[in-house]
Amino acid sequence: MPTLEELLNIQNQQLDEINSLLNEEFMILKNKKALALPEIETKKTAVIDKIQKLDRTIAAHPDCNLLKTKYKDQKDQILKKLKNCHRQNAVNGKLIQLCMASNRRLGSTLSKLKDHNSVTYDDKGTTHSISSGGIEISC
């Protein structure tokens, strides 16, 4: 069985990895490269699963009471990294919401343009929808 210190070092590394993935996700969102998001999401999920599993292993470790004394500094460092990951994840979530709102506005604008281009008026000013496929010009 690994020592508690070894487990804490692994958890520290995994938090560095998830932080790196969150920063990568932020850049993808910032640069509007949404097609790369599923790959990042898969990687994030895998690392989060490892972190959760390792956390359960640490909690069940026979020396886990040493987290309050001997390994307090390491535990505090890990908790600080975890807090930073939560903060970055919240920022990314807000950025995703902004991107989704922007896409909805774009879709609405495009829909209005399409609708606007398919409306015509008769000699009395009444609107009529038309399809562009029915227009013919004879010379």
Q: Confidence class of residue 130 from pLDDT cuts 50, 70 and 90? A: low
Q: How far, in Å, CA of 2 to CA of 9, rounded?
A: 11
Q: Report which DSSP code applies to 120.
A: E
Answer with the residue of higher pLDDT: 121 or 91.
91
Task: Count Cβ atoms below 10 Å from residue 134 Cβ, excluding itself.
Answer: 6
The per-residue pLDDT for range 58-113, each reduced to its tens digit, is 999 999 999 999 999 999 999 999 999 999 999 999 998 988 888 788 887 777 77
Query: Looking at residue 119, what is its pLDDT?
Result: 62
